[in-house]
Structure 1
């Protein structure tokens, strides 16, 4: 069991003045692979956004992530927290006017990398890690959905994050491609990076082992899913 990197005790989360989740008690450790399940609107995305301070936590309770206390995090600390978190979106959010490699270069330069040699080396490393080492020159529209999602995962890995958040990463992919993407995320987790993945895909949850946290009726609880459910 690795070090605890997410520790929520008695935490509430609201959006637009509406309470979404109440009394969250959750600990997630280094190297955990966590599935977030639950119907649309049950709070999965709200919880993920709270981890990188896009949704603020309510008064009461305590929330720590990667040694930052979210109860009183300063605005100027948030970019440093976010650098330790890689985010994989369902809809890719790649810049369509530049190649895959240039998408990655843009992120590195935006997060303070200035040596072109170091940038080129890091881009090569992450493209190789996601099996896209021969596709970096291609524009996003020249890549399949699965290939674009691999580039998005490469982008999430650039700054060697302690935590990857994947919000419905297979939502726009066919089942076979989705399975490959989750397999890749599991390989990343096995090397020590914590992965939290929201999903509606119970077949994937059954295929690849992980902790399962269900959002339902304003709460989050760890559950087991039987093979026939």
Structure 2
């Protein structure tokens, strides 16, 4: 909080329109403060933790974008996140005058072809206008937690991190129901067989209304988890 406030205090007072804001924030954060990312940051958990991103000045696109949004918002900028497929950026201004900037690339202002290339590289599909709409803040939080879950998924020894991210995701008012199943599996993996079995039972009850065969399989997994207590 204090660091975000401090950085916001270094921005010029109302520098102008969306492009002026993008350049001012980029000069401060990407230039003088050194916020940016690299391929190596995708392998680090601290690239998805805000306090570590503020300390290291390095992070994933979405966390760097959060820094940009929070600093610029404090200074009065018309800023928001833009969840391009595979690469989160920030936007300034309304649709008719929107300017995009890429915090991961030090705040480079994106042209239309730049944005099209980012989307094509991630999906192979063309850029659609709906992709340029402001991201919902809760979706941003869920996407950050998804990144943490993905990091932990390939590191079985860090099931503690995976469980932490899943449980935070479940606190959000809107989340995928399958996270309940993922939490149950993690509990069993970590030796909480009773808690995992109860969560599996709850998930089976949830899905039984639409897929009874899947529900029956999950009930079997709950029974197997309880058997591990013997």
TM-score for the superposition, normalised by structure 2:
0.26
Q: Which has the larger radius of gyration?
A: 2
TM-score for the superposition, normalised by structure 1:
0.26
More strand by share: 1
More helix by share: 2
